[in-house]
């Protein structure tokens, strides 16, 4: 991994060991009051980076890690990963443990977002099977599923619970607002 100074275009003096293969997903999280990059790789690993140090590595998925999201659970930062193996995994970035895993999609998971609904954290996942699933991270249950006519390739979630989904050559907006109050 290299951290470039984009203002002057210079390269750092050292390179840190990274993934074997391509980086497929990125995120950012604050740990110990400092920003850290999170990367998911073709090698199935999740890595947590800070400037100038070798990354903390997790053997995250069988196959590539295609999606990364970040959420706070129990007052600690967690990464939510989606992989080629169809699973979604929750990683406690403070302890290094994996408190939850979901058999989420048939085929790979391509996108992960996070949102708070009814005061509880939820992960929104999109996969090769064309589904968008809403996961309650407190209970570990899938609360609802939406179906798209093609593989979900990307998604993001707005603060007011709108899920923007990319699939095939299309983009759709899915509102989670009608689900509020009905998910508990």
Q: What is the pLDDT of residues 80-110, one digit of tens each?
A: 999 999 999 999 998 888 888 888 899 999 9
Asked if the structure places residue 84 within a domain, the reply is yes
119 found inside a domain: yes
Question: How many structural domains is the chain composed of?
Answer: 1
Domain span holding position 77: 23-179
Report CA torsion sign: 151, 157, 158, 160.
Answer: positive
CATH assignment of the domain containing 144: 2.130.10.10
Q: Do the domain assignments include residue 116?
A: yes
- Residue 130 reports pLDDT greater than 80: yes
Is 125 contained in some domain? Answer: yes
Which of 33, 32, 88, 34 lies closest to 60 in space, CA to CA? 88
pLDDT tens track for 163-177: 999 999 999 999 987
Q: Take residue 80 and report the two structure tokens written for it.
A: 């939510």
Q: Is residue 130 part of a domain?
A: yes
Whether 107 is in a domain gets the answer yes
């Amino acid at each position: 991994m290299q951290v470039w100074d984009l203002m002057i275009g210079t390269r750092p003096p050292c390179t840190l060991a990274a993934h074997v293969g391509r980086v497929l997903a990125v995120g950012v999280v604050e740990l110990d009051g400092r920003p850290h990059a999170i990367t998911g790789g073709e090698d199935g690993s999740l890595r947590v980076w800070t400037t100038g140090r070798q990354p903390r590595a997790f053997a995250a998925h069988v196959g590539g890690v295609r999606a990364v999201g970040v959420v706070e659970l129990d007052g600690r930062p967690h990464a939510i990963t989606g992989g080629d193996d169809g699973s979604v995994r929750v990683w406690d970035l403070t302890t290094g443990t994996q408190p939850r895993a979901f058999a989420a999609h048939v085929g790979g998971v391509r996108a992960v977002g996070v949102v708070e609904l009814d005061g509880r954290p939820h992960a929104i996942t999109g996969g090769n099977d064309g589904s968008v699933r809403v996961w309650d991270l407190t209970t570990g249950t899938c609360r609802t599923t939406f179906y798209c006519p093609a593989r979900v390739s990307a998604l993001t979630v707005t603060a007011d619970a709108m899920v923007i989904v990319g699939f095939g050559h299309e983009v759709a907006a899915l509102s989670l607002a009608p689900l509020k109050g009905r998910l508990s």
